[in-house]
Structure 1
Amino acid sequence: MSQQQTLSNQRVRPPIRHIGLLGGTFDPPHHGHLLPLQEILAQLPLDSIWLLPNHIPPHKAGTHASAGQRLDMVSLLCGDNTRLSPCAIELERASPSYTVDTLERLRHKHPDCRFYFIMGMDSFLNLPQWHRWQSLFDLCHLILCERPGWQLDEAQPMMAQLQARGQKAEDGLPQANSGKVIEVPITEQPWSSTEIRAALKHGELPDGAMPKAVGDYIHQHRLYRHR
């Protein structure tokens, strides 16, 4: 067999894709989700960010809009940004949406991808309460969204993790497959899904809270109104 035939018979490994992940109920999705993602994409060379609506959030009683409606709204939130896309993997199962389980499935399903799970500082500080939280560092990197000028208290138990694993956004993406905490400064946003639902309950929508397409979908389907 010639050298050329030997090379052609070898499996060519696809290039690694760097994928950010943002989980949540997205009930509804809004600019408080979208604008930080745009800032992350401006600072890190991720190929894409996937938005993962939860099916059964383990820390909440349920959702107000259905799984299908929330997935539709996430699609509208992504709009024509080719680096943002919805991912329905958590909606496909009937058990609670534990992040570590989702990451294990994603790693198995997409072996050519390196994953970066996005979270805010509050979630990071509460990470020890998450299901099998230490396994997250074996499955992905974390992208830690920080408000400019914010400093983590030295007495916080998670400070040791940040000191051991942390790196700045300007350092680029890690060479390792998992285990780093990438600190990315973002602009604090004034919107929350809870406050938006409260306004929508009375037929109001805060100005600038979400893209028009998402607001139109909510009004069309009469979501979050008095029952």
Structure 2
Amino acid sequence: MRIGILGGTFDPIHLGHIRPALDIKQQLQLDEVWLMPNHIPPHKQSTNVDSQHRLAMVEQICQQHKDLKLCDIEIKRQTPSYTVVTLQQLQQAYPQHQFYFIMGMDSFINLPQWHLWQQLFELCHIVLCQRPGWQLDNNHPMQKVLQQKTRRYSAQFNISNGNLSVGSIIPVDTILQDISSTEVREKLLNHEDVSSLIAPCTKTYIQQHQLYLT
């Protein structure tokens, strides 16, 4: 199977995560997209609610969308989660799958700060989305990587790439929506309406458990 992976703290999960995941699944004809909440992300100090709540909110979203599956490999880990380590474990556990790791241009620009980032291309394809306000300067060091590894996806992608089961950067036209978990949390704290930012089931869960009020 061809599996997309979208990781994040999902604190909380919002439509800016869900809509692009579904669109990418359709555009690249993936079999599934796995939503992978982090437990201890290496680039953030902490999360605002505990892992149990974040996991439950993602699980509810997956129950509503048959194309989305929960991947709990990182949230169960008691140490910081490094993407390379996670993908190595997933590849070992699911050798029959081909993985497509989804990221925005903002993450791609900072990829050299990731642990053993160059090994990512030995483990997966990278699906690169645009995020409003983020552009890659022609003089940026990652521009060369982008030029060398970019492959445009088409119906003939797997055939034209032969045995190239990993290692490509695949740009997609999906523009990541300008929604952030920070914005959602701030609106919840100020008792503002978030109906246009999160799914109804997420809103209900947050209200039931009185999350993000402090």
TM-score computed with the length of structure 2 as normaliser: 0.92
- Other-structure match for 1:78: 62
Distance (Å, rounded) in 2 between the aligned partners of 1:172 and 1:158 = 27
Q: CA distance change for structure 1 residues 182 and 221 in 2, over 3 Å: closer, same or farther?
A: same
Across the two proteins, how many residue pairs are aligned to each other? 210
The one of 171, 193, 197 aligned to 1:205: 193
CA gap 1:221/1:186 in 2 versus in 1, 3 angstroms:
same
1:100 aligns with 2:84: yes
> What is the RMSD of the two structures over their aligned residues, measured on CA atoms?
1.8
Give yes or no for the alignment of 1:120 onto 2:104: yes
Quick one: structure 1 residues 77 and 121, their matched pair in 2 at CA, closer, same or farther if it must change by over 3 Å? same
2-structure distance, mates of 1:127, 1:187? 19
TM-score, structure 1 as length reference: 0.87
- Map residues 1-227 of structure 1 onto 2, 5 A cutoff: 17-146=1-130, 152-170=136-154, 173-174=157-158, 175=161, 176-226=164-214
1:75-128 superposed Cα distances (whole Å, 9 cap, x missing partner): 222343211011100012111010001001100111111111000001011101
Moved over 3 A (4+): 169-175
Q: Which amino acid aligns with 1:86?
A: L
Question: Which entry has the higher C-alpha Rg, 1 or 2?
Answer: 1
Unaligned stretches of 5+ residues in structure 1? 1-16
**Cα distance in 2 for residues equivalent to 1:168 and 1:33:** 23
Q: Identity percentage over the alignment?
A: 48
Q: Which range is displaced more, 36-45 or 139-148?
A: 139-148
On the 8 A contact 1:30/1:77 being kept in 2, the answer is no
1:95 maps to a residue whose letter is T
In the TM superposition, residue 151 of structure 1 has moved relative to its aligned partner by 6.0
Contact 2:2 2:97 in 1 (8 A): yes
In structure 2, do the counterparts of structure 1 residues 57 and 126 end up closer, same or farther at CA, with 3 Å as the change threshold?
A: same
Deviation at 1:187, TM superposition (A): 3.0
**Counterparts of 1:220 and 1:133, CA distance in 2:** 40
SS at structure 1 position matched to 2:25: helix
Could you give the per-residue CA deviations for residues 41-81 of structure 1, whole angstroms, max 9, x where no partner exists? 22111010001100001111111111111111112223432
